[in-house]
């Protein structure tokens, strides 16, 4: 899996941590001290710049406020799959746990971790591995490892038939003096000072069907994850940001006023910025619809009426006319060609 090229979306991880901290009695202003971020920035991140330095300052604040070196174990429980948007829904709708793990492996940069995610099977164990990627300061390493492994174990409980019980945990840090705490927390043996952090589960569970499995939903969510990942890795222009907002909710295509509001600007200003980049809102919307249309037609058995609804068209005829303009052939003709 490719390494992270952009972590600015990690700002979306802050509300979950802040909510947990507020439940402990700490204020939002104390959590955000020194980050140059406001509560409004966190509630509506939109076009708010967010750097690794700000992320590290935020998490240092949490550790300082609680004076709890095990804070990562507590906060990790708060990150449910729903926290990750499209990626979470792609996981939940996957056919099996194995396929869900592959989803996480393929789209790891859409999570909030600073580690490189991989998934493999060795003997009787399925292994979700978090390997060092972006350099994490020594004073934050334990916190990040604990948070992300706990989220990996606890966050999927609503998506599997039985809680995901690890058979072994490997930690990068060397907190061997707290072995008892970690083994009680994870409910299994724990190793320390490993080259990569790992959650190991019984491989026999990998082919269990997931209770929310839905092939079409999973395909749609994964396709949009691919778009998000491609845009994330290609840059952070306004064209990219508009694309990300357009694909953020399956089946919903916002107007320019909604997108401009999310980016904390007027629609007139957004039009001007897009024009400077040689594009327009309608051009981006058409491009996204065309990419999604080809994916749905080639990889799913959805009827044309349903595809037209997913793409925001009020009638199949409108979708067909648009697709002919984009591709020079009808949706039916494209599907027949793609299936050969």
Domain locations along the chain = 8-205, 237-338
pLDDT one-digit tens code per residue, 155-195:
988 889 888 899 999 999 999 999 999 999 999 999 999 99
Residue 6, C-beta contacts closer than 8 angstroms, at least 6 positions apart: 109, 232, 233, 236
Distances (CA, A) of 56 to 10, 68, 255, 324: 11, 16, 35, 49
pLDDT digits (tens, 9 = 90+) for 65-88: 999 999 999 999 999 998 888 899
Q: Which of these, 82, 102, 84, lies nearest to 207 by C-alpha position?
A: 102
* CATH numeric code, 237-338: 1.10.10.60
Q: How far apart are CA 116 and CA 108, in angstroms?
A: 7
Integer Cα distance of 148 and 16 in angstroms? 13
Ranges of H-type helices in 97-137: 97-106
**Tens digit of pLDDT per residue, the chain (340 long)?**
444 556 888 999 999 999 999 999 999 999 999 999 999 988 887 667 888 999 999 999 999 999 999 999 999 999 999 888 889 999 999 999 999 999 999 999 999 999 999 999 999 999 999 999 888 999 999 999 999 999 999 998 888 988 889 999 999 999 999 999 999 999 999 999 999 999 999 999 999 999 999 988 888 888 888 888 876 766 567 888 888 888 877 778 899 999 998 888 999 999 998 988 888 999 999 988 988 898 888 878 889 999 998 898 889 999 999 999 888 889 999 888 876 6
State the pLDDT at residue 301.
84
The string of pLDDT tens digits covering residues 133-162 is 888 999 999 999 999 999 999 998 888 988
Measured distance CA(143)–CA(252) in Å, rounded: 37
């Amino acid at each position: 899996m490719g390494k992270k090229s952009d972590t600015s979306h990690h700002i979306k991880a802050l509300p979950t941590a802040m909510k947990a901290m507020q439940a402990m009695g700490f204020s939002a202003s104390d959590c955000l001290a020194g980050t140059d971020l406001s509560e409004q920035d966190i509630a509506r991140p939109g076009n708010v710049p967010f750097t690794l330095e700000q992320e590290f300052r935020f998490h240092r604040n949490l550790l300082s406020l609680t004076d709890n070196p095990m804070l990562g174990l507590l906060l990790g429980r708060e990150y449910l799959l729903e926290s990750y948007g499209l990626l979470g829904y792609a996981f939940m709708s996957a056919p099996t746990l194995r396929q869900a793990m592959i989803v996480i492996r393929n789209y790891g940069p859409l999570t909030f971790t600073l580690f490189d995610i991989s998934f493999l099977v060795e003997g009787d164990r399925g292994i979700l591995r978090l390997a060092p990627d972006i350099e994490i300061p020594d004073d934050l390493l334990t916190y990040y490892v604990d948070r992300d492994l706990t989220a990996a174990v606890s966050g999927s409980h609503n998506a599997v038939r039985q809680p995901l019980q690890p058979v072994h945990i490997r930690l990068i840090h060397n907190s061997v003096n707290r072995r008892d705490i970690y083994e009680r927390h994870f409910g299994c043996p724990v190793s320390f000072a490993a080259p990569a952090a790992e959650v190991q589960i019984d491989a026999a569970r990998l082919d269990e069907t997931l209770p929310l499995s839905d092939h079409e939903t999973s395909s749609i969510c994964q396709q949009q994850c691919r778009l998000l990942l491609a845009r994330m890795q290609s840059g952070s222009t306004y064209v990219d940001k508009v694309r990300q907002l357009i694909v953020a909710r399956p089946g919903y295509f916002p107007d320019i006023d909604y997108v401009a509001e999310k980016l904390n600007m007027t629609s007139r200003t957004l039009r001007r910025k897009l024009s400077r980049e040689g594009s327009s809102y309608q051009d981006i919307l058409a491009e996204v619809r065309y990419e999604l249309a080809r994916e749905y037609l080639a990889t799913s058995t959805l009827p044309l009426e349903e595809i037209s609804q997913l793409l925001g068209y009020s009638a199949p005829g409108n979708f067909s006319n648009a697709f002919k303009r984009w591709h020079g052939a009808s949706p039916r003709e494209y599907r027949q060609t793609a299936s050969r």
